[in-house]
Amino acid sequence: LELGELDTPVATVDLDAVERNIARMQDYCDEHGLAFRPHVKTHKLPAIAHMQLAAGAVGITCQKLGEAEVMQAAGIRDILLSFPLVGPAKAERLAALAGEAELSVAADSAAVANGLSEALARAGVEVGFLVELDGVFERSGVQSPEEAAELAELVDGLPGLRFDGLMTYPTTEETGPQVRAAIDAVRARGLEVRRVSSGGTPTFFTNHEVPEITEVRAGTYVYGDRTCIANGTVPFDDCALRIRATVVSRPTADRAILDCGSKTLTNDAVEDPAGGDGHGLIVEYPDARLHTLHEEHGFVDLSACAERPEICDVVTIVPNHACAVTNLHDEVAVHRGGRVVGFWPVAARGKLR
Amino acid sequence: LELGELDTPVATVDLDAVERNIARMQDYCDEHGLAFRPHVKTHKLPAIAHMQLAAGAVGITCQKLGEAEVMQAAGIRDILLSFPLVGPAKAERLAALAGEAELSVAADSAAVANGLSEALARAGVEVGFLVELDGVFERSGVQSPEEAAELAELVDGLPGLRFDGLMTYPTTEETGPQVRAAIDAVRARGLEVRRVSSGGTPTFFTNHEVPEITEVRAGTYVYGDRTCIANGTVPFDDCALRIRATVVSRPTADRAILDCGSKTLTNDAVEDPAGGDGHGLIVEYPDARLHTLHEEHGFVDLSACAERPEICDVVTIVPNHACAVTNLHDEVAVHRGGRVVGFWPVAARGKLR
């Protein structure tokens, strides 16, 4: 079966490109003595997680407990849950999972630490804890070295939790000073910081500049997208996730309508100003502008194109944001050189809790 | 089970509100002698489609063949496929489905009509055909009365297809003149226009102003969202689809982080300038601004709020765009007055083809 025989719209994954992307990031980490812990939020596929581990990753990162449950069920043992787990239902599930896998969690509050500790202690299991430091996005995370130290000290005294170190995101010029100040404050309370986890695809290759970082997380690099092309982390040829779509209408000379809208591509913009506007790069018609998406319609302006697609033609799209796109697809058609080698269910898709 | 006992994030549907929304639109159609053909793209749930039919709808509208297959499998017989079906795989599936249900399709080209005709004729089935007229969105649809008449004439001569009439979207001030001109051109070729399908939630209550319209389609009205509140078609109390989310971090006095990001709410904006900015209305804290979404993080600015939520508190969100949100959720928690009466799988979710 060749890609050209697939009905559209369809999400396709180039396994050769995935392997190149995995090798590029793993090589960097190996060269700099960094542990690599890929984030599965991008692919949500057990098979690719296993490829990442086989290449040398120390474990994986999950954003949702439901993702971790899928990955553990697929035989993966070392999992960091990087999103704060709140409430008794999730604490119970974490405790159950901790009996089957080596888990760590990150959070920024006593409330979350206390809630997890209770359930974990009752189950007689232990989970590593990373204190989250806020980064340039001003998202979650403690706001000062003192807050970090205070939470570390609390966690150190809580049954079921083991203070392991610090987590932040993404790695920027501020990360080094911030991490060093937090380490100093934690050490001043007599605690050891064994692990400092940072990451993000856009600044991936700067992690070695902060010697305190021990572990790097990244997700998007494995597929690449227009944002990755723009920030230079994944070249166009290695953008592994692409959407094949059909021209279903050519109402005017300058307009084509594709069978991929926001329910196939999302409305996410390219996150880098150099990445261009619109909703995706049309590989065969780089001068075409996919300027508007309705739920199922993709609006293409062809006015700048010398060659133009006909109705019923199929085109290939590199999406703006791979992680969001994969989340819309129940399965991906996996191929090597255009030959389909499988249809993989996106097993951790839709695991919102 | 009460809503307050559900883990988050979770999509909830208020059945009483759904019934009020269905009644409001059906009453309008009954009053004006219009056939109502709700679009299932919003809920993707067989149970709600059956509620719409029980209230008086003549059939349903689907955007995707996969949605139609799910609905037919749930016992629904009269289905309009409003999106152009291209390619032999879809033509074969349409032909198979046409043996089990009463189908109609819409398209704007000879290429699509010819492709469908071949497969339908081979299977010995007949499907109604509506010629799509382009509307204010400049999307798909023929561009002139002459083009409409030409395609109608072609379809009239094709085996497996039966020319039924015209389809457009949405109903606006231009719809009346445009539809009348197309009807005149089609009639000039000796063909009868038995059916004129128009619609859209925002301008729903104007359809009677175009006497040529025989049938109205609308989807979003059944759930409502911030766009519907802004355009006045669904009041706040009748916004049936809501997301319950937990405050997982309170890093600063003015900031809360929720466990709902773009993978729970989408990045879709409110489509009406009066609808406000941000990514959703937080019911309990109307002065809070859900200003940014990452994939799993919702960033809330509390600076304008007198009362502020604590970490672990649960809030309720009316989303910007209901149709896009439901597409992210494998199931919805259905309730009446806060008492959960079921968890319904979003059966037609992810049916992209």
User: pLDDT tens digit string along B319-337?
Assistant: 999 999 999 999 999 999 9
Beta bridge partners of A103: A79
Name which of A63, A89, A262 is nearest B296 (Cβ-Cβ). Answer: A63
- pLDDT of residue B272 exceeding 90, the answer is no
Name which of A7, A87, A141 is nearest B87 (Cβ-Cβ). Answer: A7
Q: Do A40 and A47 form a contact (C-beta atoms < 8 A)?
A: no
Give the type of residue at A269.
A
Is A324 in Cβ contact with B263 (below 8 Å)?
yes
Q: What share of chain B is helix, strand, coil (3-state, %, to 5)?
A: 35, 25, 40
The percent of residues in chain B predicted with pLDDT above 70, rounded, is: 100
- Residue A261: per-residue pLDDT: 98
User: pLDDT tens digit string along A243-271?
Assistant: 999 999 999 999 999 999 999 999 999 99
Is A9 in Cβ contact with B249 (below 8 Å)?
no
Choose the mutation target among B137, B271, B295, B346 for the interface with A, i.e. most A CBs under 10 Å.
B295
| Secondary element (H or E) of residue B331 | strand B331-336
Choose the mutation target among A263, A296, A332, A346 for the interface with B, i.e. most B CBs under 10 Å.
A263
Nearest to A169 by CA among A145, A211, A201, A193: A201
Q: How confident is the model at residue A124 (pLDDT cuts 50, 70, 90)?
A: very high
Sign of the CA dihedral with A108 first, then A138, A69, and A66 last: positive
Is A87 in Cβ contact with B312 (below 8 Å)?
yes
Q: What's the CA gap between A283 and A208, in Å, rounded? A: 34
**SS3 state at A142:** strand
CA distance B13 to chain A (A): 17
- Residue B274: per-residue pLDDT: 86
CA distance B86 to chain A (A): 6
Which residues of chain B are within 8 Å of residue A141 when distances are taken between CB atoms? 249, 251
The CB-side HSE value for A266 (13 A sphere, CA atoms) comes to 24
CB-based contacts of A240: which residues, under 8 Å, 6+ apart? A13, A14, A15, A17, A18, A21, A222, A223, A224
- pLDDT of residue B92 exceeding 90, the answer is yes
Q: Do B57 and B63 form a contact (C-beta atoms < 8 A)?
A: no
- Residue A274: per-residue pLDDT: 86
- pLDDT of residue A132 exceeding 90, the answer is yes
The pair of structure tokens assigned to B45 is: 């749930």
CA distance B284 to chain A (A): 19
B269 C-beta neighbours (distance < 10 Å), count: 16
- Residue A77: per-residue pLDDT: 97
Which residues of chain B are within 8 Å of residue A118 when distances are taken between CB atoms? none
Which residues of chain A are within 8 Å of residue B262 when distances are taken between CB atoms? 266, 268, 324
The DSSP string of A154-189 is HHHTSTTEEEEEEE-SS--TTHHHHHHHHHHHHHTT
Long-range contacts of A180-184 (CB under 8 A, 24+ apart): A180/A212, A181/A145, A182/A131, A182/A133, A182/A145, A182/A148, A182/A149, A183/A212, A184/A145
- pLDDT of residue A273 exceeding 90, the answer is no
When the pLDDT of each residue in chain B is averaged and rounded to a whole number, the result is 98
Q: How confident is the model at residue A242 (pLDDT cuts 50, 70, 90)?
A: very high
A337: buried, middle or exposed (CB in 10 Å: 19+, 13-18, 0-12)? exposed
Residue holding tokens 């949100």? B325
Q: Do A8 and B87 form a contact (C-beta atoms < 8 A)?
A: yes
- Residue A272: per-residue pLDDT: 87
Q: What's the CA gap between A179 and A167, in Å, rounded? A: 9
Q: What's the CA gap between B230 and A94, in Å, rounded? A: 41
Sign of the CA dihedral with B181 first, then B182, B184, and B185 last: positive
B78: buried, middle or exposed (CB in 10 Å: 19+, 13-18, 0-12)? middle
- pLDDT of residue B73 exceeding 90, the answer is yes
Q: What is the mean pLDDT of residues A202-213?
A: 98
Query: How big is chain A by its Cα radius of gyration, in Å?
Result: 22
Which residues of chain A are within 8 Å of residue B141 when distances are taken between CB atoms? 249, 251
The pair of structure tokens assigned to A300 is: 């293409």
Number of A/B CB contacts below 8 angstroms equals 169
- Residue B273: per-residue pLDDT: 83
Q: What angle do CA B238, B242, B247 make, to 5 degrees?
A: 140
Give the type of residue at A57.
A
Is A327 in Cβ contact with B350 (below 8 Å)?
no
Which residues of chain B are within 8 Å of residue A8 when distances are taken between CB atoms? 87, 353
| Secondary element (H or E) of residue B244 | strand B241-252
User: pLDDT tens digit string along A82-95?
Assistant: 999 999 999 999 99
Is A324 in Cβ contact with B295 (below 8 Å)?
yes
CB-based contacts of A184: which residues, under 8 Å, 6+ apart? A145
- pLDDT of residue B253 exceeding 90, the answer is yes
* Residue count of chain A: 353
The CB-side HSE value for B186 (13 A sphere, CA atoms) comes to 29
- Whole-complex ipTM: 0.98
Q: What's the CA gap between A255 and A251, in Å, rounded? A: 6
When the pLDDT of each residue in chain A is averaged and rounded to a whole number, the result is 98
- pLDDT of residue A339 exceeding 90, the answer is yes
CA distance A313 to chain B (A): 10
Which residues of chain B are within 8 Å of residue A244 when distances are taken between CB atoms? none
Name the DSSP letter for residue B3. G
